[in-house]
Chain A
Amino acid sequence: MSTLPPVTHLQFLILEALRDGEIAGAEVRGILADHGVRRTLPAFYELMSRLERAGLVVGHYAPKLVKGQNVRERRYALTAAGSGAHEDTCRFYRSRTGVQEQEAS
């Protein structure tokens, strides 16, 4: 029997969002909002900090030019452990729903 997935639905959604490469925190927040998950700024960054501290994502500040002004933003990327956790979660759901088998057949 497969063990429970290592991340929550919300964390999975974030890992999924980061699968295609590094993006800014604001974009991640936008993707969550598209799924009906609204978080205030500190609550959202608390969520991200948990993932960061768990070693699933890595964040850094990058400069950004907005309307001629230099501002900075925090950008996030998936770590190897994050990719692994994402894979494990996908595998868990596939095993529970049989989606993989149907697709294979």
Chain B
Amino acid sequence: MKCSPLVRGLRASLPDGLRRWLFDPSLAELTSEAVAGQSASPVSGVRIVGLWLHCWLIGLRAAVSACARRLRPPRGAEHVSFSSPDPESFMQSVLQDVRYSFRALRASRGFTAVAILTLALGIGVNTAIFTIVDMMLFRPMPGVQDSEELAYVMGRDGDAPFLMNLSYPNYQDLLAADTGFSDLLGYSWRVVGLSTAGSGAERAFAQVVTANYFGLQGVAISPGRDFTADEGLVDVPAPVMMITHDYWQTRFGGDPEVVGSTVELNGTPFTVVGVVSPAYVGIDSMLAIQIYIPVGGLPALAPSAVASLRSRTSVQFRVVGRVAGGAGAPQLQEEVDAVAAQLRDDFPVANADQELVVIPERAARPDASAGGQFAQIAVIFGLLVGMVLLIACANVANLMLARATGRDSEVAVRSALGAGRWRIMRQIAIESMMLGLGGAAAGILLAVWATETLRGVVAGWQIGMPLQLPLQTDLRAMAFGTAVAVLASLIAGTLPALQITRGDLTLGLRQGSRSVSAGGARQRLRGMLVVAQVAVSLILIIAAGLFLRSLAGVRDAGLGFETEGRLYVSFDPDVVGYERDEGLALHDELLAATRVLPGVSAVGLVNSEPFGSRTGFTTTLPERDAADETNPGLMTVRWRISPGYLEAIGTRLLRGRDVAPSDTADGPLVAIVNEVMATSTWPGEDPIGKRLVTPGSGRTYEVIGVVEQGKYMLIWEEPQKALYLPAAQSYPSTPTLVVHAQGDPLLLAEPIRQLLQRLAPTVPVFGVMTAEESLRNGRGLMLISLATGLVGAFGVLGLMLATIGLYGVVAYAVGQRLREFGVRIALGADTRSVLRLVVRQGLAMSAVGVVVGALLAMGVGRLLSSLLVGVSPTDPLVFGVAIAIVVATAAAASLVPAWRATRVDPVNALRGE
């Protein structure tokens, strides 16, 4: 079954009786129904969790009945006093309260449903976010032994905004050095073309790893065996590989014969030696890796890659070490600093500004190069969902207070019959706890649904690598959800309990239904709760507005390319063994054939779409500095482009000329630079005709043009230097075709796919998407899109709850003052003045909430500022619109009861007086 870990977890958590008698047969029937197609939907996680909860409810009901039977006094026994200290009678009285509360909640079903739903929303979003944060920050790595002993060693190059991987030689030097690490592993990523007998090549995502990779992590391999030390050495005669359990199941149908068999990677035979344990989700838990290849297999996979294993400027290995017993982080950092200093001395060109940084494994999630940014995001989202819970609690407290008003007489009667304040409070507390548990059950279901949805969203992100979100809504998450529910219901229940039982409990009895014992205080308290709700929902709406403006602001943030009407089609001739010349010939044919397709206005090729995963870097130097051997050059983004690419993507050429078909491999080397590169390298001079050197390859390029500045890696990035090289002189092995369409670009997807199929039937095509989709779901905007969606949903939810709260308070106040309005109308007050009177009350409450909320939102905006693009955290437009929305909603919420106030019949009102 699809969610078997979920089923296993749920099954294990049930007592034997419930599991054997209820859960197992029910699940069997559910599965059978789903397979037969009688059921509308397949057995989803939600249905299974529903089944599980239902089993628990039946079990609890049976336990309570059994308990009650045991405690029930024999017929004719003397009535047990409420205040009896006897534990058995205490238990009995608690059970009585439970039964009473159950009946009371059943009697007012509308209230119960709204309260449970409100709490469920608060608990659901909190549990869902907890599940993610728990996976990202707190859980040990699944399938890894003592993962808290692991630490990354990353490079930092001067003041670069992100951390870098290490070169293979630097990794080997680090391994040989005397540090507090007992062992260090290295890994990098690579796309390979996998084919088995009788099948065409398909793209697979592989990690190239050192031979100690699994041994160091203590990962089980079954079936099969781990890599041997020999297989980790460069140049092995018989290359081997391992596959993940998921890939084994999906690609090879779980066939045990796969181990020991041979498959082809990029046309070279590799022997599969093992399958990685299903418990292991990968060292980067969000990347869905399919194949592991030891470093010794790299020459067979890509002969040209061998040079990169010897180069100190090719930083492609991520390094993780196991910390030997007792070594602390400062000590490790000191030792690693010494290694970095040695590397700088020994290899000054390659390691000029490089420092090494030790990051504990947990702080490096989900991506070590991001430098722990997730913890900050987690805090922000934790805070925002906490606010939703706060609003939900305030709303339930408000509902309970409103309900309390009708219960004064009931409380007074119970009090008169001998129930003390404590007993009444306990009953109210039990009632709110029952609401809380109902909210927890519904909230956990909501969380399961939300995490499943999010899993789908993440799998759909286009960053050029397959993504996964290995989330489990397990006992921890459920325990968290239940704890939040208990806390929420206590918060929501305590205030009303205190209010209801305050003062003379018999007053309600004496005054009958017209009692308003402690009514003023209660109303004030409800008013304060509404103020808090309005304030918090304003904060959420402002946060959502800031993200929304960021999304819009990206257009003004200077992308340096156009997205409208553009289509990206990526294809991979490399994995089916295309050499450089064959690849270039294919490029030319494809470009020529695409150009004449109807609806195409421009077309070009590039090594990676903007913000894609195949963006490259190189180091460059102006020719005048090339003689200085100690100068390491400047880190520059490198694009490999065909003629016509700049026009197709919509990047403006400011000076000089575009790449032309005459810029062939045999011709003089040429390059186009961007604005920042031109002005920083040759300030005040004309860059056209100037010459650039790439120290790594020793090639010299003549600058032929300058293009506008753009964003290349991250939407937040500072302006970076960029270099555009002709594809004929700098071959992109896995290119992206960029098409500028006259109409809907997606209409061109199929014709281009067919073209490629005709020109190169074996070449796999991947990542066919519009530029808009790529920007939204790719590395460019995915975080902002997700944040806008989530925070927007929280904001709408918060405002909805606050509106209900405000409506309740104003409606109640109107109900209390109906006679007064009757008298006013009898004395000549017109409709407008009565309307104004009521709406003013609602607006006054929301005005206080708006002021408090706006002040707090300024602080929250500052917290969010690192995630915002092109918008100030105190953007007046966002604040203005958000306040207008909240005030308009508040006015609408007050208008309905106000209209009711104007319909009071003065005759009835005066008769009442």
Residues of A within 8 A of B (CB): 25-26, 29, 40-46, 48-49, 52-53, 59, 61, 64, 66-67, 69, 71-74
Q: Is the CB of B23 within 8 A of A42?
A: yes
A45 to B31, CA, bound (A): 15
- In the complex, B684 has a CB within 8 A of chain A: no
Instruction: Give B2-59 interface residues, CB cut-off 8 Å to A.
Output: 21-26, 28-33, 35-37, 51, 54-55, 58
Question: Given known contacts A26-B29, A66-B35, what 20 new A-B pairs fall within 8 Å (CB)?
Answer: A41-B29, A41-B30, A41-B54, A42-B55, A43-B54, A43-B58, A44-B26, A45-B21, A45-B26, A46-B21, A48-B21, A67-B36, A67-B37, A71-B31, A71-B35, A72-B28, A72-B32, A73-B28, A74-B25, A74-B28
- A81 CB to nearest chain B CB (Å): 18
Q: Is the CB of B28 within 8 A of A49?
A: no
The 5 tightest CB contacts between A and B, nearest first, are: A49-B21, A41-B26, A74-B25, A42-B54, A66-B35
Q: Is the CB of B35 within 8 A of A67?
A: yes
Q: Is the CB of B37 within 8 A of A74?
A: no
A29 to B51, CA, bound (A): 16
Q: Is the CB of B36 within 8 A of A42?
A: no
* Given the contacts A69-B35, A72-B28, A46 and B51 also touching, CB distance less than 8 Å: no
- A30 CB to nearest chain B CB (Å): 11
- A11 CB to nearest chain B CB (Å): 16
- B715 CB to nearest chain A CB (Å): 47
A66 to B24, CA, bound (A): 18
B35 nearest CB neighbor, chain A only? A66
- B35 CB to nearest chain A CB (Å): 5
Q: Is the CB of B22 within 8 A of A74?
A: no
- B1 CB to nearest chain A CB (Å): 10
A50 nearest CB neighbor, chain B only? B21
- B36 CB to nearest chain A CB (Å): 5
A44 to B26, CA, bound (A): 9
Q: 20 A-B residue contacts at CB 8 Å? A: A25-B29, A26-B29, A29-B29, A41-B25, A41-B26, A41-B29, A42-B54, A42-B55, A43-B54, A43-B58, A45-B25, A46-B58, A48-B21, A48-B25, A52-B21, A61-B28, A64-B32, A67-B36, A71-B35, A72-B32
* Given the contacts A42-B51, A42-B58, A25 and B36 also touching, CB distance less than 8 Å: no
A29 to B33, CA, bound (A): 13
A29 to B35, CA, bound (A): 18
* Given the contacts A46-B22, A49-B21, A67-B35, A73 and B29 also touching, CB distance less than 8 Å: yes
- B62 CB to nearest chain A CB (Å): 8
A64 nearest CB neighbor, chain B only? B32
| A67 / chain B contacts, CB cutoff of 8 Å | 35-37
Q: Is the CB of A41 within 8 A of B35?
A: no
SS class, residues of chain A in contact with chain B: helix
Q: Is the CB of B37 within 8 A of A25?
A: no
Instruction: Give B733-770 interface residues, CB cut-off 8 Å to A.
Output: none
A74 to B55, CA, bound (A): 17
* Given the contacts A41-B51, A42-B55, A43-B58, A49 and B32 also touching, CB distance less than 8 Å: no
- B893 CB to nearest chain A CB (Å): 38
| A59 / chain B contacts, CB cutoff of 8 Å | 25
- B10 CB to nearest chain A CB (Å): 13
| A73 / chain B contacts, CB cutoff of 8 Å | 28-29, 32
Q: Is the CB of A42 within 8 A of B22?
A: yes
B31 nearest CB neighbor, chain A only? A71
| B28 / chain A contacts, CB cutoff of 8 Å | 61, 71-74
A105 to B24, CA, bound (A): 50
| B54 / chain A contacts, CB cutoff of 8 Å | 40-43
Q: Is the CB of B36 within 8 A of A66?
A: yes
Q: Is the CB of A25 within 8 A of B25?
A: yes
| B51 / chain A contacts, CB cutoff of 8 Å | 41-42
A43 to B26, CA, bound (A): 9
- A38 CB to nearest chain B CB (Å): 14
A26 to B28, CA, bound (A): 10
- A90 CB to nearest chain B CB (Å): 28
Q: Is the CB of A74 within 8 A of B58?
A: no
A69 to B55, CA, bound (A): 27
| A45 / chain B contacts, CB cutoff of 8 Å | 21-22, 25-26
**Interface 1/0 per residue, B683-714 and A, CB below 8 Å:** 00000000000000000000000000000000
| A43 / chain B contacts, CB cutoff of 8 Å | 54, 58
Q: Is the CB of B32 within 8 A of A42?
A: no
Q: Is the CB of A74 within 8 A of B29?
A: yes
- B15 CB to nearest chain A CB (Å): 13
| B31 / chain A contacts, CB cutoff of 8 Å | 71
B32 nearest CB neighbor, chain A only? A71
| B30 / chain A contacts, CB cutoff of 8 Å | 41
* Given the contacts A42-B55, A66-B35, A49 and B22 also touching, CB distance less than 8 Å: yes
A87 to B25, CA, bound (A): 28
- A49 CB to nearest chain B CB (Å): 4
Q: Is the CB of B22 within 8 A of A66?
A: no
| B32 / chain A contacts, CB cutoff of 8 Å | 26, 64, 66, 71-73
| A41 / chain B contacts, CB cutoff of 8 Å | 25-26, 29-30, 51, 54
- B37 CB to nearest chain A CB (Å): 7
| A46 / chain B contacts, CB cutoff of 8 Å | 21-22, 58
Tell which of B21, B36, B51, B58 has the most Cβ of chain A within 10 Å.
B21
B55 nearest CB neighbor, chain A only? A42
A72 to B35, CA, bound (A): 11
| B35 / chain A contacts, CB cutoff of 8 Å | 66-67, 69, 71
A60 to B168, CA, bound (A): 60
A71 to B42, CA, bound (A): 14
A44 to B55, CA, bound (A): 11
* Given the contacts A66-B32, A71-B31, A73-B32, A42 and B37 also touching, CB distance less than 8 Å: no
| B55 / chain A contacts, CB cutoff of 8 Å | 42
B56 nearest CB neighbor, chain A only? A42
A64 to B31, CA, bound (A): 11
- A67 CB to nearest chain B CB (Å): 6
A53 to B26, CA, bound (A): 17
- B34 CB to nearest chain A CB (Å): 9
